[in-house]
Structures are given as structure tokens and as C-alpha cells.
Amino acid sequence: MTLRPPKPAVRAERVSLWRYLKLFRQDILSAQPAKLYRAWMAEFRTPFFRSYLVNQPELVKRVLKDSPKDFPKSGRISEGLRPLLGNSVFLTNGAEWERQRRIIDPAFEGGRLRDTFPAMLAAADKAVERLAAKTDRPVEIEEETSHVAADVIFRTLFSIPIEHQVATEVFSRFRDYQRSQPIVNLAAFVPLPRWMPRFFRRSTKRNAAEIRGLITRLTAERMAQIEAGTAPDDLATKIMSTKDPVTGEGFDTEEMVDQVAIFFLAGHETSASALAWTLYLLALFPDWQEQVAEEAEALSEWSFRSVAGLKVSRDVFREALRLYPPVPMMVREATCPHEFRGRDVEPGSQIVLSPWHLQRHERLWDNPDDFDPSRWKTENGKTCQRDAFIPFSAGPRVCTGAGFAMIEGPLLLSRILQTYRIDAVPGKEPVPVAHLTVRSENGIWLQLTRR
């Protein structure tokens, strides 16, 4: 019998709209019908709008690459994130989004990634050191990967380790925010007018306000350092010093706080999810684990150039992103008429792109539910990587930090496995659920043993 990574149970029966909404709020993944793993498109109707989930590669390409201005980010799903993210690049559209990307993108170009590598490596080494106290007993690894991912963000963005007082407090508050943040806000399903107040849990608003207050402190201090000529050469300095080549203006403090909030959310929450699932998969498949460890041990030095050559680790990490994409669904909104598979898509329709379903699609991938990092060298794997692999989205709105993540993930993975062997804990199989990212319902439990 083939060992397969865990996958959430899916419903086979039809349910009412209100039952679906209840299931959706509990967990996006298990609320969906099993047929979505084979369907090219599915239509979902509410009293207020129509939604289309598209899995056909040609339609995904049209939405993300060919006609992205016809399908901007939907404001419905993002409503729940506004208390924390404000007007960040993750939520904006049109000219405002274009201006923000012109300022942000230069900080994540190839040369700048090379400059951030020493900070990534320092965070990885610190994680290996912390894990020494966690060996030979069950460890909830998501907590550990969250810690190291947050450390990477603070070191590369503000040149401070996670042990810094403000960094520690932001990390703590963010964990509280994640637990209090509902998957969707009421506005995701009911078209509330602009003047009507949005209803958030009190704890959600409080944690968001406190996180933004802490980030404001860091941002104001950095602006003062930039003016005094004493700022370190890190991502925050680069972004805050960059002027929009069109308008000649940069971010003010409030705008920078918005951007730092999404850098922390995207760079910490998603990386933590991806790394935790990768470690669990390697605990299930020890042959691949040993290949990653041997590849890491064979390195003569830990440099940006040498880490770029970690081919096994990169394929393993990519396969984990395929099976457990940190962001399981993305929502766009049609702004002009289109036709999808013979159906008229009216303006205002919601277009759901689901990496979770697309990357496990039974009509696209060979053995879609299997963990097989070698697939990326096959013709099927190469075709699907181009047409059906979007963990970072695609097109103009591809994640700015995609290159950053593909250096960070294999680096952390290799450093950890060079030092520790990992095993799954019997009776603790994780159940994937979607919160802000794809996490395990009751944590991911592993046992680490020093090599």
C-alpha cells in the first residue's frame, strides 16, 4: 500500500448555502466537494453574487497573466485582514498597487537577495541551536518553524534578531491575532455598503492595533536613522529609501507600516507553514530525508552561491509547496464581461483560484496525492510546473518574495536536517486545515534526534 501524506476529508453530498458557509468558516478545505479535484470549473451561487472556481490551466492563465487588469484582487475576502494590513500591497489594486510595487520590487531583486543571505543563515544557525534543547521528545514543529521564520523576517528587514524586545512582542501578538482572526469576514458573502461598519472580534482589532503600534516604532526609528545616515543596509532601509520612478515619492510612515505588516504576514506565516509541512513529509519518507541531509553535509561552505545548488532540498521543498500550498485559495473579481467554458461571467463575479485543488488535480498531475520530489524532472512535472503550480500566484501579482522564499526554505531545511534526524510521532497524524495559511488542526508533532 502506497503511503500518502494526509489530506482533509471532503464532503460528497450537496449542502445548503448556509450549511456551506458554516463549514467554510470552520475550514475552507474540507468544506469543498470532492469533485473539485477533477473539475475544470465549478459555479457557486449566493443571493448576492456568483463565484467561479477555475482549475483549467487556460483559464488560470487568463486571469493571472493574460488579462490581470480585468480580474483585480477581490475586496470581499480581504475585508477580514484590513485591521492589520491597512492599505498594503497585498490588498490594493490599480494605480496604487502599481506604485507600491515599483517601490518594493527593487528590494527583492537577485543582488539584494544575496545581501540578505547572511541574515538568513544566522537565523538558521540560531534555530539549530534552539532545537538542541528539544531533542528526544515530541516537539510541536509548527511553533518552531514560526519562530525561525519570524527571526528571518526581522533579521533581513530590520537587522534585529527575534530576541529583540519589539520583535518578540510582535511575534507574540501575531500568534494571538492568527487565533482570533476568522477565515472570512461577513463582507465576503454579503455586499455591505461602504458606510456600514465592519464587525471584527474585539481581540482581532486589539491585536492588530498593538502590532501596528510596534511596527510604527520600528519604522519611525529607521526613518530617523536614514535621515542621520546611520541606517543599516537591509530591506527596510532599501524600501524606505526608494522613490517611485514615476512620481518621485516614497512611502510615508503609515504606508510603510502597511507594507511591513504584509511582509511579516507573508514572509513569516507562509514560510512557517511550508517548512513545517516539509519537515513532516520528510519524517514520513526517510529516504528523501537522508538525501537532503547528505546533500547538506557535502557542502564545502554555506554561501548564497552554494545554497543555490541544493537541488534535492529545493525539489523537496517545491513538492511540499505543491501538496500544502500555504495560501490555499486566491480570489479575484471580474470587472468586465468574460466567457468561461461557455458560461457568461458577469462583472462583479468572484473568481476563485485554488492552488490546493489545482496542484492536486487528478487530470493534470501524475499521482497527484503522492509525495514525489523526483516528479519535477519528468515531462509531466515540468509541464505542470509551468501550467498548474501557483503557490506564489503568477503574472504581475506574483509574490514579491517568491525568490526570497525559495532561498530561505531549502536553506532552513538543509541546516536542520544536517544536524537532526526527524521522525513522526505515532498517533499524531496532522490534519490540514486553512486558517490564515494551511496549518495542522492539532499541530505537527515530530521527534528530533541529533545525528
pLDDT tens, position by position, 80-113: 677 788 889 988 999 999 999 999 999 988 778 8
Q: What is the pLDDT of residues 174-217, one digit of tens each?
A: 777 765 554 444 344 444 444 334 445 566 678 888 888 999 99
Q: Any bridge partners for residue 350, and if so which?
A: 51, 333
Question: Mean pLDDT throughout 336-343?
Answer: 96
Residue 374: predicted pLDDT: 98
Question: Mean pLDDT throughout 111-120?
Answer: 90
Residue 109: predicted pLDDT: 84
Nearest to 412 by CA among 122, 182, 158, 171: 122
Mean pLDDT of the chain: 88
Return the higher-pLDDT residue of 359 and 13: 359
Q: How far apart are CA 158 and CA 205, in angstroms?
A: 25
Q: What is the pLDDT of residues 272-303, one digit of tens each?
A: 999 999 999 999 999 999 999 999 999 989 99
> Helix, strand or coil for residue 193?
coil
Nearest to 420 by CA among 284, 271, 297, 275: 297
- Residue 44's pLDDT band (boundaries 50, 70, 90)? confident
Q: How far apart are CA 356 and CA 53, in angstroms?
A: 12
Least reliable range by pLDDT among 109-113, 176-180, 333-337, 418-422: 176-180
- Residue 78's pLDDT band (boundaries 50, 70, 90)? low
| Whether the Cβ atoms of residue 178 and residue 190 lie closer than 8 Å to each other | no
| Whether the Cβ atoms of residue 151 and residue 161 lie closer than 8 Å to each other | yes
Residue 309: predicted pLDDT: 86
DSSP letter at 33 equals B
| Structural fold of domain 17-450 | Cytochrome p450 (1.10.630)
Highest mean pLDDT among 84-88, 132-136, 198-202, 259-263: 132-136
Q: How far is CA 173 from CA 160, 296, 358, in A?
A: 17, 34, 33
Q: How far is CA 214 from CA 91, 115, 128, 202, 207, in A?
A: 21, 26, 28, 19, 11
Q: Any bridge partners for residue 50, and if so which?
A: 45
Question: Is the pLDDT score of 263 beyond 60?
Answer: yes
| Whether the Cβ atoms of residue 361 and residue 368 lie closer than 8 Å to each other | yes
- Strand 350-353 with 50-54, pairing: parallel
Question: Is the pLDDT score of 114 beyond 60?
Answer: yes
Nine cell digits for residue 265: 504576514
Q: What is the pLDDT of residues 351-393, one digit of tens each?
A: 999 999 999 999 999 999 999 999 999 999 999 999 999 999 9
Q: How far apart are CA 438 and CA 7, in angstroms?
A: 11
Q: Can you list the positions of beta strands (E) in 111-267?
A: 138-140
Q: How far apart are CA 113 and CA 304, in angstroms?
A: 9
Residue 111's contacts (CB-CB under 8 Å, 6 or more residues apart) are: none
Burial letters for 256-280: b for 16+ Cβ neighbours within 10 Å, e otherwise? bbbbbbbbbbbbbbbbbbbbbbbbb
Half-sphere exposure in the Cβ direction for 141 (13 Å, CA): 32
Nine cell digits for residue 307: 545554497
| Whether the Cβ atoms of residue 373 and residue 383 lie closer than 8 Å to each other | no
Question: Mean pLDDT throughout 162-169?
Answer: 88
Question: Mean pLDDT throughout 22-28?
Answer: 61
Q: How far is CA 432 from CA 6, 321, 325, in A?
A: 7, 13, 11
> Helix, strand or coil for residue 229?
coil
Residue 194: predicted pLDDT: 44
Question: Is the pLDDT score of 394 beyond 80?
Answer: yes
Question: Is the pLDDT score of 22 beyond 80?
Answer: no
**102 CB-contact burial (10 Å; exposed 0-12 / middle 13-18 / buried 19+):** middle
Least reliable range by pLDDT among 159-163, 181-185, 227-231: 181-185
